[in-house]
Amino acid sequence: MKQGSLSAGLIIGVLSLLIACESKKEAAKPVGDAALMSPAGSAGRVENDEGVGHYKQGHWNMAEGHFRKAIAVDPKLVEGRYNLGLTLDKMGKHEDATASFKIVVELAPPNSPIKDSVILKEHIGK
């Protein structure tokens, strides 16, 4: 009986590990052209998240203003910098978008899916 329980436990453990690996694969997918919400506790969260609402509605000037305010409060807010780059791209301000995306690459953690963004890569040439 113990051997059966051990085998069942081993199978459950392996299945759990496989499911966890699949979840990490999905989590590592590159981000698209959707604006990103701020992490909890970020000083620029309110402004960034307000900008996301305007971005979703196509209010590029309003979104840009909120993202710039978020960055002013929290200069290392990767999501705010990324969102600013997206917004500037939508506005046709490609040089400014490229500058923002270059800062994103410097600030984002090494394995961040944000670095795999197609729009970001189009601007920085990677």
Domain that holds residue 109: 31-124
Q: Cα–Cα distance between 106 and 124 in angstroms, integer?
A: 12
Instruction: Identify the residue whose tokens are 């759990």.
Output: 16
Indicate whether 8 and 42 sit together in one domain.
no
pLDDT digits (tens, 9 = 90+) for 91-107: 999 999 999 999 999 99
Report the candidate in 86, 98, 96, 85 with the shortest Cα–Cα distance to residue 125: 98
Q: Cα–Cα distance between 83 and 41 in angstroms, integer?
A: 18
Q: What percent of the chain has pLDDT over 90?
A: 66
CATH number, position 76: 1.25.40.10
